[in-house]
Amino acid sequence: MSQNKNEVLYRVYIVLGLVVVFAGFIFYYAVKINVLEGEKWRAQGQKEHVKLYTVKASRGNIMTEDGALLASSLPFFDIYFDTKTPSQELFDQNVDSLALGLMPYVDVEYNFTEGGLGNFLKLARDSSRRYVQIKKGASFLEYEKMKKLPIFREGQFQGGFIAEEKFRRRRPYGILARRTLGYVRDNGKKVGLEGFFDKEMGGSDGKRLKAYRSTSKTWIPVTDYNDIQPEAGDDIVTTIDINMQDIAHRALMRGLKHHDAQNGTAVIMEVKTGKIKAIANIGKNPKGYYEDYNYAVGAAVEPGSTFKLASMMALLEDDFIDLEDSIDLEQGTHVFYEEEMRDASFHQLDSTTIRKAFEISSNVGIAKLVQKYYADTENGEKWIQHLHNFRLHQPINVEINGEDPPYVKKAYNKDDDWSGITMPWMSIGYEVELTPLQLLAFYNAVANNGKYMKPYLVTQIQHFGETLKSFNPVVIKEQIAKPSTIRKVQSLLQGVVEEGTAKKLKSNRYTFAGKTGTAQINYYKFDQRENIKYRASFAGYFPAKDPVYSCIVVVTEPRQNGRYGSEVAGPIFREIADRCFIEQKELFPKENNKPKIYTEKNKIPQLDVGYRKDVDVVLEELNIPHTHSGVKNWAVLTATTDTLHIAPRYISRDVVPNVVGMGLRDALYILENLGLEVVFEGSGKIIRQSLKMGTKIKGQRIKLTLK
């Protein structure tokens, strides 16, 4: 019995020993595989793995209000050939034809002849190189043509044709409004409209299953379709008018180059709605000028004299002044608490009207008025409250990330470094900060008879043409000041152009209103030093009566050809307004919106000159009987009893013609095409020309007088 028991124990020990040895082997290989050779086997496992890859969705478009594309996602394709997929018969019979068809499309690094490309594909198949890159970034048209080639037309699973779709962002108008349109980058800052509407425009990414091929060390799609289809993003329709954007951009670019300025911005806004029709931002870098930053939205700066409008409005709101009251400008110099303030230009004026002080942009005049009426604590807080009523302390919240908030000090607040000289310097646009767009919104409210509209850039969100959401004009405040105040400051802004600092900018063809501004950037309370830098600006609207558009131009650090707002920013504003009037005839007041007047015999027009077809149209519209004697081009009207006769006005290429009786447009067309330099004064019809008819043309200057 004991012997049997020992035999059983021996067997148990043997089995236990074998188990221990086996467990040791398992432990050894577990350590070897997981620790010593872990990286090798994990990599091998990864090679045999399949996984879902993200397929980027097509990003939504950005469009102008009339449907022109500002930004769009265009598809492109990476084309590959799985050489082992086609049958041997299909490959042998068609590979040369495929190579011939691929020659216009293959990537340039191959540098093959037709025969060389065919041999390359054959060698790739023989060596089991399955995943051959044919073309990176093929266009949609190239993709369509390649997929119809021999072998490729059989698709992925019989012909080995593999195409991976991707998207690139394209802007048809180049750098126009680049910073406003913006961009979105992976793990980067979201800029402009692209960033603000990223959720709507981004769409939903899809998924595609891919398998790893260890022979070619590449991931190959398992199917020729997406396992989860991407959903395209929504489109946004902006308020931008591409023609006005081009006008603003070109005018700003010319101005910056002419003055060798560091940067600048120009914004055009629709007065009644707050729609931003154009927003140009250009800065200088070592390579030249480029849209590098949105200065209109992201740069709050001391505005300088354009802020004087707010100071005048506060004084008028409290009935402290009348525009015809007198103010002593002390010839442009005054001391506030031991700090001297000077006017920008030497005018030698002592006593003058408040209207005149504003028109010539007198720092001393405006600062003395504000200091006189608001210097004590109670009235100081009242003055700041007026600035709040004008919405100068609130951001715009336009549809662009990164708006710099305005900075308006609290009255007598030590945390804001309020001092005895704060109020006079604030009154002329220092110790206060606003972005150009925030300041423009204020001027726009003045142009809009006191109604403050929210500036905005997007009117609709659409998906494949269907409107998902609309954005309408928003009234932030019905009246920022009394109607009487608004009327008075409107007259002041028009006076600046008619008689003040912007007098040289006024036009004989239309009216506009606005305010020049010049701010020292690296100043200390007007302490005159060398190398002072300036910021020039002009804010206003056009036409002056019943305005359609408001506009602001700000130019930073002009280095040549002037430094003041009237010399630098004003001419850019004028060019923008000029071009808008040329492009949009509706800006001119209508002359034919009254009932037809039937002309009496003795009031029939005569001796008017113009292009014959235009004359015909006018006379027919007015229902005036007329005859003509075969006039082809230029015509002169002569009255005969109750009928007008159209006689020819002959134009020679060699001598000065008679342009008396013509309108300015027709005269300019004729004279400038003849090589004459034209200057003019007045408005209406031409009544006098400096060069007599028949004078030999030698490129002279001719002066036209209109009345």
Residues 627 and 672 grouped into a single domain: yes
Predicted confidence at residue 601, as pLDDT, reads 42
Range in 419-428, 611-620, 672-681 the model is least confident about: 611-620
Average pLDDT for the chain:
85
Range in 314-323, 568-577, 613-622 the model is least confident about: 613-622
> Residue 652 pLDDT more than 90?
no
Angstrom distances, CA of residue 90 to CA of 23, 83, 96, 99: 55, 11, 11, 14
Q: Which residue has the tokens 């602001």?
A: 552
> Residue 43 pLDDT more than 80?
no
Residues 441 and 316 grouped into a single domain: yes
Give me the percent of the chain exceeding a pLDDT of 90.
Answer: 51
Predicted confidence at residue 21, as pLDDT, reads 76
**For range 414-423, the mean pLDDT:** 92
**For range 572-578, the mean pLDDT:** 97
More confident residue, 408 or 682: 408
Predicted confidence at residue 671, as pLDDT, reads 81
Among 146, 152, 186, which Cα is nearest to 54's?
A: 186
E strand or H helix at 295? helix 295-298
In total, the chain counts a number of residues equal to 707
Predicted confidence at residue 369, as pLDDT, reads 97
Are 294 and 180 spatial neighbours (Cβ–Cβ below 8 Å)?
A: yes
Are 309 and 489 spatial neighbours (Cβ–Cβ below 8 Å)?
A: yes
The answer to whether position 42 is within a domain reads no
Predicted confidence at residue 591, as pLDDT, reads 52
The answer to whether position 536 is within a domain reads yes
Residues 394 and 531 grouped into a single domain: yes
Residues 336 and 421 grouped into a single domain: yes
Predicted confidence at residue 29, as pLDDT, reads 60
Residues 369 and 463 grouped into a single domain: yes
More confident residue, 279 or 24: 279
- What residues contact 236, with CB distance under 8 A and at least 6 apart? 60, 61, 62, 63, 193, 197, 200, 201, 458, 460, 461, 462
**For range 591-601, the mean pLDDT:** 49
- Structural domain for 626, as ranges: 601-706
Q: Tens of pLDDT along 445-455?
A: 999 999 999 99
More confident residue, 127 or 306: 306
The answer to whether position 188 is within a domain reads no
Residues 288 and 210 grouped into a single domain: no
The answer to whether position 185 is within a domain reads no
Q: What are phi and psi of 370, to 5 degrees?
A: -65, -40
The answer to whether position 240 is within a domain reads no
Residue 223's pLDDT band (cuts 50, 70, 90): low
The answer to whether position 512 is within a domain reads yes
Q: Tens of pLDDT along 115-169?
A: 888 888 998 888 866 778 899 889 888 999 999 999 999 998 899 898 888 888 8
Residues 542 and 400 grouped into a single domain: yes
Q: How many domains does the chain have?
A: 4
Residues 559 and 663 grouped into a single domain: no
Residues 428 and 351 grouped into a single domain: yes
Predicted confidence at residue 638, as pLDDT, reads 58
Residues 31 and 70 grouped into a single domain: no
- Measured between alpha carbons, how far is 587 from 281 in angstroms, rounded to an integer? 25
Residues 258 and 227 grouped into a single domain: no
Residues 265 and 303 grouped into a single domain: yes
The answer to whether position 308 is within a domain reads yes
**For range 585-595, the mean pLDDT:** 60
- Measured between alpha carbons, how far is 449 from 482 in angstroms, rounded to an integer? 9
Write the CATH number for 398. 3.40.710.10
**Domain boundary, last residue among 542, 559, 586:** 586
Residue 324's Cβ-count burial label (10 Å; 0-12, 13-18, 19+) is exposed
Alpha-helical runs (H) found in 219-282: 242-259
The answer to whether position 123 is within a domain reads yes
Predicted confidence at residue 598, as pLDDT, reads 46
Among 654, 666, 653, 668, which Cα is nearest to 703's?
A: 668
Predicted confidence at residue 157, as pLDDT, reads 84
